[in-house]
Amino acid sequence: MTLAIHGGNPVRTRPFPRHRTIGSEEKEAVCRVLDSGVLSKYLGCWHEDFMGGHEVRALEEEWAAYFGARHAIAVNSCTSGLFCAVGAIGTEPGDEIIVPPYTMSATAVAPLIYNAVPVFADIEADCFCLDPKEVEKKITKRTRAIMVVDLFGQPSDAEGIHALARKNGLHVIEDTAQAPGALYQGKPAGTLGHIGVFSLNYHKHIHCGEGGVVVTDDDTLAERIRLIRNHGESVVEGMGTANLVNMVGFNFRMTEMEAAVARCQLHKLEGLLEKRLENCRYMTEGLSQIPAITAPVIRENCRHAFYVHACKFDETLAGVSRNTFMDAVKAELPCTEGRESEGVKIGCGYVKPLYLLPLFQQKIAHGSGHFPFTSPWNPSVPDYGKGSCPVCEDLHEKTLFTHELMLPSMEKADMDDVLRAFTKVWEARDQLKGNIK
């Protein structure tokens, strides 16, 4: 049995089915908006339409009801929502916000928008979210907030994080981009902090191309998020807002068409999530037969939303490196329809630990003078050196692998091919020992 990476026949050549959640409902919704002639109804001044048009407001009401939040505020991206959240809590120059190193860069960049600095704390070895024990080590007099990420669909350790927040008078901002529908002890992810931020980007569980939603139960925070979303500097006088801190607003507004599509997608979330969970259970059972692979851990009393299926690989037990093994598995499998340019949807690690990006290594953000890292408000600069978060670095460099071959579009026959590829490579891994990466 010769591996495909060495010239043998691959397990499968027919592309995996396209993952598509857009259907006739979304087409009808877009046509409804087009027929109305109102593609956006926002005004950047104090007026009834400051809150947006019919579709935006309807999405906000439906989103708040679905997730059990007092307020939902639609924005044009999860990134924008994070910027709104950081501003809304009153972040000051010189403040510190504790963030995880393993996430999309927007999470760590959001503090910089308000001239605060991100402080990276290490993550859990099994659940991959911020480790409360590591967070506690990073809290100082300058800490303003903790920003957690429900990474890969796993709810963060809300109990541990909130205990620290209460003890130290901190806000918790929850980045739930990858975990809509996840539950922590029965409570929806996204509602576990003072502010939660969801993503409607095209490759998330549900989407409208680009977009996001911010949720909170705090009336004051909700008002401030809405002001930052839509030219707050022009609105505070009309609204009678006294607190002008961070009220330099942006244009983070969602269009009516995006909102109409998002409403349809929200109604599909539970069904799509059920299929995703069913597929992940199947893949977990299959991959668990390979001794070197540890399938995803699900936090106790939680529902994982499985943005991806994130597993761990034991290079010592396998006798080959993770990268070499996964390259061989990918050689056995095809691309996914519609995503051919991305290759086989198996990845080694996730993103480079964010503190290793040039932004943090060179401490260049606003202008050329290393601001805000070396501003008068920052008497000391956090350590962004290699080795700062060893658990994250180990996961990224040699242990973690993720795949998307469990999306709702995948049937059991498709997943069986994936499992056959993993098994084939495992049984023939001796063929790989000459080309370890």
Task: Give the model confidence (pLDDT) of 168-194 as tens digits.
Answer: 999 999 999 999 999 999 999 999 999
362 located within any domain: no
Higher per-residue confidence, 153 vs 377: 153
Closest CA to 198 of 342, 47, 72, 114: 72
Structure-token pair, residue 14: 């027919």
In whole angstroms, give the CA distance from residue 36 to residue 32: 6
179 located within any domain: yes
Closest CA to 90 of 220, 251, 213, 197: 220
183 located within any domain: yes
Task: Give the model confidence (pLDDT) of 205-217 as tens digits.
Answer: 999 999 999 999 9
* Domain housing 261: 24-265
Tell me: pLDDT of 80 over 90.
yes
In whole angstroms, give the CA distance from residue 30 to residue 43: 22
CATH code for position 231: 3.40.640.10
- Per-residue pLDDT, averaged over 411-432, amounts to 97
Pairing of strands 212-216, 302-303: unpaired
User: What amino acid occupies position 432?
Assistant: L
Task: Give the model confidence (pLDDT) of 111-165 as tens digits.
Answer: 999 999 999 999 999 999 999 999 999 999 999 999 999 999 999 999 999 999 9
Centroid of chain to Cα 194: 17
221 located within any domain: yes
- Per-residue pLDDT, averaged over 94-99, amounts to 96
Residues 6+ apart with CB under 8 A from 16: 333, 334, 335, 336, 337, 345, 405, 409, 410, 414
Which pLDDT band, with edges at 50, 70 and 90, does 375 fall under?
Answer: confident
pLDDT at 435: 58
Task: Give the model confidence (pLDDT) of 233-274 as tens digits.
Answer: 999 999 899 999 999 989 999 999 999 999 999 999 999 999
In whole angstroms, give the CA distance from residue 146 to residue 156: 12
The percentage of the chain sitting over the pLDDT mark of 90, rounded to a whole number, equals 92
Residues 6+ apart with CB under 8 A from 319: 429, 430, 433
Which pLDDT band, with edges at 50, 70 and 90, does 383 fall under?
Answer: confident
Domain count, the chain: 1
Closest CA to 114 of 222, 250, 254, 236: 250
Which pLDDT band, with edges at 50, 70 and 90, does 219 fall under?
Answer: very high
- Per-residue pLDDT, averaged over 66-85, amounts to 98
User: What amino acid occupies position 50?
Assistant: F
pLDDT at 381: 78
Which pLDDT band, with edges at 50, 70 and 90, does 382 fall under?
Answer: confident
4 located within any domain: no
Torsion angle, alpha carbons of 241, 246, 248, 253, to 10: -90
pLDDT at 92: 95
134 located within any domain: yes
Instruction: Note whether 71 and 219 are within 8 A (CB).
Output: yes
225 located within any domain: yes
Q: Looking at 13-77, list the stretches that DSSP marks H as alpha helix, in order from N- to C-terminal side.
A: 24-36, 54-67
Q: Which range has the worst mean pLDDT, 228-232, 292-296, 347-351, 431-435?
A: 431-435
Instruction: Note whether 143 and 96 are within 8 A (CB).
Output: yes
- Per-residue pLDDT, averaged over 303-310, amounts to 98
305 located within any domain: no
Mean pLDDT across the chain, nearest whole number?
A: 96
Query: Computed over its alpha carbons, how large is the radius of gyration of the chain?
Result: 23
